[in-house]
Structure 1
Amino acid sequence: MSLEISDQTFKEEVLSSKEPVLVDFWAEWCGPCRSLKPIVDELSEEFKGKVKVAKIDIDANQEVSVEYGIRNIPTLLFFKNGQVVDKVIGVQPKEKLAEKMNALLG
């Protein structure tokens, strides 16, 4: 299961994380976000202990969304050592996202 984060916990959970982090920017009303959720949850289980998977609701947490220029959702940002190293917008196949997560580990 993905970790729910907020504007208040973003720095600690993402920027200060010792492991790479995938952050899913989503909203309750977003149909494509709901389509992506099971894929993100599966990846969370498959990469447990290697890549942290977090979700942030853009409606409830606008500070981080604005800071990272999130204009379309779902948007997935891949962080390593507190820096964005990759970005995906829209629903993507699980295999493509798994490749990007493996690249974070490489």
Structure 2
Amino acid sequence: MKISPFQKDKSGRLWFVFQLLILCFITLTSSAQTGINVVSAEEFQLQLNTSSKPQLIDVRTPDEFKTSHLKNAVNYNFNAEQFKDQLAKLDKNAPVYIYCKGGGRSAAAVKQMEKLGFTQVTELKGGIMSWEQNDLPVETGNVKKGDTYLAADFNELLAAHQYLLVDFYAEWCLPCKKMEPALAKLKTQYQGDVAIERVDVDKAKDLAKTLKIEGLPAVAVYRDGVEIKRVTGYQSEKELVGLIELLKK
């Protein structure tokens, strides 16, 4: 049986299209594995488990790292002078996984890494707080500090105030520190009307886990002991006032 020139040409075109589709698939797959990504704790764990040689970086302070950290993580303190020099030791073209306590320092570190030319960086959304909230495994060191602020203390706070704004913060959190002046001002301004309190999550780890606080700062407003709204991240004075006004509606 003879094959016409048209049939030969058609077969060749089909083969070309098939090869083109394969090339596109490879390109898209490769692209999905590069760049800067912020992923959930579950996805972060999955990627770590499937990566052959992950470069896992914890950018918290050495004291925080000693308390608990992810297995095989290396501690590069974001606030240390040698941080950029430490980053230079990493392979810029290989996958890097990075995390901090709540996501603030790791996000700032990722920006530096982008400028330095890193091509594959994955950041843990919500930091190790989110990781622990999901009951994922951590390595614990010799330093273990017990909570000094308990759920009972928080419940007492809720019971004492009809209208309450709570700022969940940590001493190492730069956005938290930036919010302090506005919170102090509003605490005086709304005194006797709306209570404004702060809770250090490093002294209330169990409470933070119970309340599912996965990023800092976290600000929540409560009416008669019931949470009305919660926001995560830096809040301006105007935004804080907006949260307070929700309590009166």
Give the alignment's TM-score, normalised by structure 1. 0.87
What is the CA–CA distance in structure 2 between the aligned matches of 1:6 and 1:55, rounded to whole Å?
Answer: 11
Residue aligning to 2:155: 11
How far has the Cα of 1:17 moved from its partner? 2.7
Residue aligning to 1:28: 171
Residue aligning to 2:189: 46
Q: Which structure 1 residue ranges, 4+ long, deviate > 4 Å from structure 2?
A: none
SS in 2 for 1:88: strand
- The within-5 A match list for 1:14-93 is 14=158, 16-93=159-236
**Contact 2:161–2:195 at 8 Å: present in 1 too?**
no
Letter in 1 for 2:200: D
Give the alignment's TM-score, normalised by structure 2. 0.39
**Contact 2:162–2:225 at 8 Å: present in 1 too?**
no
**Contact 2:176–2:216 at 8 Å: present in 1 too?**
yes
Identity of aligned residues (%): 26
Unaligned runs of 5+ in 2: 1-147
The structure having more radius of gyration, on CA atoms, is 2
How far has the Cα of 1:29 moved from its partner? 0.7
Kindly indicate which of the two structures has a greater share of residues assigned to helix: 2
What is the CA–CA distance in structure 2 between the aligned matches of 1:103 and 1:59, rounded to whole Å?
Answer: 28
Letter in 1 for 2:233: G
What is the CA–CA distance in structure 2 between the aligned matches of 1:6 and 1:76, rounded to whole Å?
Answer: 17
How far has the Cα of 1:23 moved from its partner? 0.7
Letter in 2 for 1:103: L
Root-mean-square deviation (Å)? 1.5
How far has the Cα of 1:81 moved from its partner? 1.1
What is the CA–CA distance in structure 2 between the aligned matches of 1:96 and 1:60, rounded to whole Å?
Answer: 26
SS in 1 for 2:220: strand
Residue by residue over 1:8-33, the C-alpha shift from the partner in whole angstroms, topping out at 9 and shown as x without a partner, is 4211112x134211111000111111
SS in 1 for 2:165: strand
Matched residue count: 101
SS in 2 for 1:100: helix
How far has the Cα of 1:91 moved from its partner? 1.0
